[in-house]
Structure 1
Amino acid sequence: MADSDDKIHVAMFPWLAFGHMMPWLELAKLFAAKGHKISFISTPRNIDRLPKPPADVSSTLHFVKLPLPQVEGLPPDAEATIDLPANKVQYLKIALDKVQEPFAKVLESLNPDWIFYDFAQYWTGPIAAQLGIKSTYFSICIAAMVAFLGPPSPLIDGDDYRKKPEDFTIPPKWVSFQTTVAYKYYDIMNTFDCVEDDASGVNDLKRWGLCLQSCDFIAVRSSFEIEPEWLQVLETIHEKPVFPVGQLPPVEYELEEKNSDAWSSMKKWLDMQEKSSVVYVAFGSEAKPSQAQLTELALGLELSGLPFFWVLRTRRGITDTDLIELPPGFEERTKGQGVVCTTWAPQLMILAHESIAGFLTHSGWSSVVEALTFQKALILLTFYSDQGINARVLEEKKIGYSIPRNELDGSFTRDSVAESLRLVMVSEEGKMYRDKAKEMSSLFGDRDRQGKYVDNILIYLKSHRPVKKAK
C-alpha cells in the first residue's frame, strides 16, 4: 500500500467494447490494490455489466458514469460493441464523440494526475492538456500491432505509403529486423474498412494517430519477454516513452457463476471427459463466422473425432438479423462427442478445467493470455482487426498453429480444421505447441512478474505527475 504522500489519482477511459474494458479493469485493479485512486469512466449500462471489483480495492477504485446521447442509427441501450452488428459500431463512435463537453467537465471535477485513454477518444489528450492533466494512450493491442500501424503523421494525414491491401502483407519499412509478422491478404481485407471514413467522419487509423501524437507516453499490453524487438520499434518511431504494462492475466475471483445451474451442468459434462482431451472453441464476444465458415468449422470438429466444448455466438446484438445456423443434424450426430453452448459461458472456468487441452481461438489477445495462463495449446483462426498480427507473432514464436486457409479469401475446409485440431491436440508433430503452452504459462500467468510491470509504470506516473496549483 502506498503511503498517503505517494498516492496518485489515475482516471481511465476505455473504448466501449468489453474486449477493451476487461483488460483495462484488470490494470485498474492492479493500480488500486497498491493504494492509488482510480476513477474508471464508462457509460452507465457498461459499468453495471462489469464484474464487481474485489473488496480489497473497493475504497480506491471508483466507477464514474458518463451517459451517451441518443444518436440516429444507434439502437436504444446500445452502449458497447457487443450490443451491435459490425456495421452499426460507427454510430457508437458518433455518440462517443458527442460526449467531449460533458467528459471535459467530469475530468475537471475529478482533477486526476493522469488520464489513460483508448484509441477512439482521440480528443482526450488535448482536453487533458488544457486542464493541466497528463495523458497516456493505453493500447490493449500488443506492441507488434501498434508498431505495424506506424508513426502518427501518415495515420493522421492519410498519406501512408501503404495504399493497397497487399501493401500490408509485408512488414513495414520502419521494421529493421527479419520477421514474418504482417497481415495475410484475407485478414487485411476484413480489416481494411478501418482506413475508410465511416459515419463519424474520423476513421480508426486517424483516431489512432491522433491518440499516439497527443499523449505524454504510450502504455501497451506487452512484456519484454515476449516482444522486446517490437517495443523498441515503438520507442524509435514515436520518440516518446513506451511502457509495457505486462500481459494482465485475469485474476479468478470466487464468482457467483461458480454456483450457478448453467456452470454446474457444463462442469458436469467436462468432469466426465478424460484429462487433457477436449478442445474448447470460442471466438470472443464480437467475432462471428460466416455461414460458410460455420459449416466447415462444425463438420471439421465432427470429423476430428475429438471431444469439444463450443461456445457459439450466432448474432451480435438484438438488431443483428444475419443469423447463422449449424449444419442440419450436426448436434444430433455429435451428441456423444461434444457440446454447443449458445448462451453465456464462463471462459476462465472452462479453460481452467483439467479436461481442456487446446483452444481454437480467434487470436484476440485476452483469450490468448487466458489460454496460456492455464497451459492450453493454441489453434488459431482469425477474423479481423489485430487478430491477424497476433496470430503471426504467435506463429513466429511457435506458440500457436494457424488453420491453413486460402491466402486470398481466407476460406478453409473441414479437412484442414480436423487435421489442425488433431495435430495440435494429439499428434507427435504438434507436441511442440502443447509444450510451448506449458512453458508460456510461467510468463503469462506469473503474478510477481505482472506486479513488477505495474510497479515500473507507477514509478514513472509518480515522478512525472503534474504539479497541481493550489485552489
Structure 2
Amino acid sequence: MADNGDDKLHIAMFPWLAFGHLLPFLQLAKLMASKGHKISFISTPRNIDRLPKIPKPLTHLITFIKINLPKLQNLPENAESTRDLPINKGKYLKIAYDGLREPVSDFIQTASPDWIINDFAAYWLGPMAAEHGVLMAYFSVFPALSLGFMGSPETLMHVSDDPASLDLLLKRPKWVPFESEVRLTAFQVTRLLERSSASEENVSDVYRFGANVNRCDAVVVRSCFDFEPDWLNLLKTLYKKPVVPAGLLPAVVNDAGDACWPEMKQWLDMHPKGSVVYIAFGTETKPNQYELTQLALGLELSGLPFFWVLIEGSSDDEVAVLPKGFEDRMNGRGVVCKVWVPQFKIVSHDSVGGLLIHSGMSSMVEGLQLGKPLVLLPFVFDQGLIASYLVEKKMAYMVHRDDVDGSFTPESVADSLSLVMVSEDGKMYREKAKEMMSLFGDINVQDKCVDELLYFLQNFSKL
C-alpha cells in the first residue's frame, strides 16, 4: 500500500457484465488513470472489445485483463453481457460470472493490486481479496438513494420473497429518518423479483449486493453531496464503514469518428432549436409490446419531432414491434434508429429540447449536464427510485403509470412531453434543467471528487 499521498496505486476493477455498469467503471478508471494511477480492468474478451477506445495519453496506464466466461448449456453462444440475451436468461449469465472465481483469484495473487474495485454481482470477491491481502471497495453505479432505500447489508442478505417482506418495499423504510418521496410501485417490485430472485442454481441480486457491502473495506458511490446529502449520510450510518462519493461522472465529448453521425446531424440541423425529443432507454431496458405501442402512439399524438433510439436485440425471445404504419406516418417528423448511436453528440445538439428516458443514471446525468429537461418513464426498481427522487427535487417530470400493473396511456405520454417541452406550465422544468448544469456538468466538481477518492484509497490504512 502507498506510504504517502504522492505514491501511485495499482487499482483493479471488476464490473458486472452489463454496459450500464461497464461504462461507468471505465469512466472512473480513466479519471483515476488521468491522475497517474495504474488500472487493471478485468472483463470478458467480447465486452472489452466493445468498449470505447482509451485516449492515447492513458493507454500505458490502463491494462485490459481478458478472462473467458465459462460455457453454460443455457447461455447463448457469445453471450457475454446482458445486452446479448433476453431478461429471462439473465440468471445464467450470473452463474457463468460466478465461474470466474479462479481466474480472478489467480490475477489477484499474481498482480497484487493495492485495491480491487468490485461491482454488486461478485459476492465472493471480498473474502478472496482479503485472503490475498488486497483491499476491496464496492463501487455502486447507482446513487446513494437506491442503496439507502434497500437498507443495511444484514437486511439485504436476509430479504425473502414472501409478500410481507415485499410490502416493505412499497413504503418509506423505517431506517430512513427524513421525509422523502423516494419509493417503489407494485409493478416495479414485481419486475425486481422477475429479474433478481434466487433459484436453486443462482444467488439473488439483493443477497449479492448485501454480501458485497458487508465484506468490502469501503463503499464508493456514483454521487456527490450536492446531489443527495441526506442519502449519503444515511449510508454511512447503515453500513458502518467509509462511504466515498466518486462524483456523478458526467460524459465528456468524444471526437472519435462515428460513421452515422453526419447523417444524424443533418437531420437534427433541419429542426428548430429545442424542438426535438430524444428517446432512449439504455442498453438493458427493453419495453415490452404493450409499452412500446403506448409509447409510439403517445409520440405520434404529441405532434413533436423526435429521435428515438430503439435497439432490438436479436437475442430477445420476443421482439416488440412498432404499431403498423407508425414509421410511415412519422416519416419526416421522427427518426427511429435501431442501432447504437453517439448519444452524447445527439443530446448536445441545439435542436434537442428534452429527453424521454428510463431514469438510468448515465442518461439522466447526460441530460442535466447539458441543461435538457427530462421526462421519465421508469421500468424497473432502481429507475423507479431515481425517478421519484428527481420528481421530489423538481428536477424532472414523470409519465403517470398505474402503480399496480404499470399501465399508461398515449395521452399521458403526449401530455408529459408537451408540458415539459412546450407548455408555459412546464417552464419550471426547463429552468431547473438549466440550473442543474452547474452541478451535473462541472468538471471541476468531478475532479475534486476523484482527488478525494484517490486520497482516501491511498491513505486508507492511516485513516
Contact persistence 1:382–1:391 (CA under 8 A): yes
- Provide the identity percentage: 51
- The Cα of 1:408 is off from its aligned counterpart by 1.1
3-state DSSP class of the match of 1:237? helix
Cα displacement string for residues 168-197 of structure 1 (whole angstroms, at most 9, x for unaligned residues): 121111001111101022222221235621
3-state DSSP class of the match of 2:425? coil
Cα displacement string for residues 259-305 of structure 1 (whole angstroms, at most 9, x for unaligned residues): x1x22111111000001100001111111111111111111111111
Contact persistence 1:72–1:91 (CA under 8 A): no
Task: Choose the corresponding residue for 1:281, options 279, 282, 286.
Answer: 279
For residues 365 and 199 of structure 2, the distance between their equivalents in structure 1, rounded to whole angstroms, comes to 31
Task: Choose the corresponding residue for 1:429, options 398, 401, 425.
Answer: 425
- The Cα of 1:400 is off from its aligned counterpart by 0.7
- Change over 3 Å in CA distance of 1:166–1:158 after alignment to 2: closer
- Change over 3 Å in CA distance of 1:75–1:199 after alignment to 2: farther
- Change over 3 Å in CA distance of 1:137–1:220 after alignment to 2: same
- The Cα of 1:160 is off from its aligned counterpart by 9.4
- Greater mean alpha carbon deviation, residues 305-314 or residues 159-168: 159-168
For residues 350 and 200 of structure 1, the distance between their equivalents in structure 2, rounded to whole angstroms, comes to 42
Instruction: Could you tell me which runs of 5 or more consecutive residues in structure 1 were left unpaired when the two chains were aligned.
Output: 467-471
Partner of 1:441: 437
Any residues of structure 2 matched to 1:127-166 within 5 Å, and which? 127-158=128-159, 163-166=164-167
One-letter amino acid of the structure 2 residue matched with residue 264 of structure 1: P
Any residues of structure 2 matched to 1:283-432 within 5 Å, and which? 283-315=281-313, 318-432=314-428
For residues 277 and 160 of structure 2, the distance between their equivalents in structure 1, rounded to whole angstroms, comes to 44
For residues 213 and 342 of structure 1, the distance between their equivalents in structure 2, rounded to whole angstroms, comes to 41
- The Cα of 1:58 is off from its aligned counterpart by 1.1
Contact persistence 1:90–1:199 (CA under 8 A): no
- Change over 3 Å in CA distance of 1:58–1:170 after alignment to 2: same
For residues 197 and 369 of structure 2, the distance between their equivalents in structure 1, rounded to whole angstroms, comes to 37
One-letter amino acid of the structure 1 residue matched with residue 74 of structure 2: G
Q: Aligned pair 1:81/2:77, yes or no?
A: no
Q: Aligned pair 1:231/2:225, yes or no?
A: no
Contact persistence 2:87–2:195 (CA under 8 A): no
Contact persistence 1:222–1:244 (CA under 8 A): yes
TM-score, normalised via structure 1 length = 0.95
Contact persistence 2:18–2:284 (CA under 8 A): no
In the alignment of these two chains, the number of paired residues is 460
3-state DSSP class of the match of 1:256? coil
Partner of 1:461: 457
Q: Aligned pair 1:103/2:107, yes or no?
A: no
Contact persistence 2:159–2:165 (CA under 8 A): no
The two structures, once aligned, show a CA RMSD in angstroms of: 1.7
TM-score, normalised via structure 2 length = 0.96
Contact persistence 2:88–2:195 (CA under 8 A): no
- The Cα of 1:153 is off from its aligned counterpart by 1.3
Cα displacement string for residues 309-368 of structure 1 (whole angstroms, at most 9, x for unaligned residues): 1111233xx331301111111111111211111122111111011100100000001110
One-letter amino acid of the structure 1 residue matched with residue 246 of structure 2: V
3-state DSSP class of the match of 1:144? helix
For residues 148 and 107 of structure 1, the distance between their equivalents in structure 2, rounded to whole angstroms, comes to 33
For residues 423 and 447 of structure 1, the distance between their equivalents in structure 2, rounded to whole angstroms, comes to 31
Cα displacement string for residues 76-135 of structure 1 (whole angstroms, at most 9, x for unaligned residues): 111111101101111111111111111100111111100000000011111110000111
- Change over 3 Å in CA distance of 1:120–1:422 after alignment to 2: same
Cα displacement string for residues 426-450 of structure 1 (whole angstroms, at most 9, x for unaligned residues): 0011111111111111111111100
Any residues of structure 2 matched to 1:130-209 within 5 Å, and which? 130-158=131-159, 163-193=164-194, 196-198=197-199, 200-209=201-210
Task: Choose the corresponding residue for 1:271, options 269, 272, 286.
Answer: 269
